[in-house]
Chains A and B, each alone.
Chain A
Amino acid sequence: GAGVSQSPRYKVAKRGQDVALRCDPISGHVSLFWYQQALGQGPEFLTYFQNEAQLDKSGLPSDRFFAERPEGSVSTLKIQRTQQEDSAVYLCASSLRAGNTEAFFGQGTRLTVV
């Protein structure tokens, strides 16, 4: 597609429920990032993929968070046993390659844990 696509746009989960957020990057983009944006804050880095390899997951807040990109294109961010503090907008971005190229962001998935 023309841009980064994320689904669902909105997700309401009961506390303790598992959720899966999907990201379709721009075709041909090597790098893929996940960010978490809390209300009133800037995006915070979660994890990075170069093709199918997850090169950095230092930003994942706990072992309840898991991300994968098995074929080097679509990525899924999974959150197990959701907690209220997980409520945020989850942004996916892709860039043509690592280094000095700009990243293009999707519209995000707004997760609300009740």
Chain B
Amino acid sequence: AQSVAQPEDQVNVAEGNPLTVKCTYSVSGNPYLFWYVQYPNRGLQFLLKYITGDNLVKGSYGFEAEFNKSQTSFHLKKPSALVSDSALYFCAVRDGRNTGFQKLVFGTGTRLLVSP
């Protein structure tokens, strides 16, 4: 069974500084990895995904994530944080062993707080 760990409940960063939100995963087959963001009273919004190819994936709003197979990690990064990036971030994994249905398994989320 697949699982995701987000070791930090909250990450604090000053506006303009780089940010990293950590994620590690466990899956039997090849991982399909996703990051979603959740603003208050809003649904989950897709940020980016890794399926195959380049380990550095670029997504929405200037976010990127680096897939590291040896460390089974998929950390979310942004070079310069904005106050508006403050939200709840979820990492998710799907087992990519086949092209059919595989459920998404989510981490418990990391709250990002960017201070002015």
- The chain A residues found within 8 Å of chain B, CB to CB, are 4, 31, 33, 35, 40-45, 48, 50, 55-56, 59, 91, 93, 98-100, 102-108
Contact = CB atoms under 8 A, between A and B. Distances in A.
A108 B40 CA distance: 12
A31 B96 contact: no
B43 A4 contact: yes
A61 to B, nearest CB: 15
Contact of B100 (A99, A102, A106): A99
Interface string B21-51: 0000000000010101000011111100101
Given A42-B109, A106-B43, 14 more contacts: A42-B106, A43-B90, A43-B106, A44-B106, A45-B104, A45-B105, A56-B101, A59-B103, A98-B101, A100-B51, A100-B94, A103-B104, A105-B36, A107-B41
Given A42-B106, A45-B104, A45-B105, A107 B99 contact: no
Given A42-B109, A105-B43, A108-B43, A100 B96 contact: yes
Contact of B103 (A40, A45, A102, A108): A45
A40 B104 CA distance: 18
B4 to A, nearest CB: 8
Contacts of B46: 102-104
Nearest to A9: B41
A56 B103 contact: yes
Contacts of B34: 102
Contacts of A50: 101
Q: Which of A35, A41, A102, A103 has the largest count of B CB atoms less than 10 A from its CB? A: A102
B78 to A, nearest CB: 19
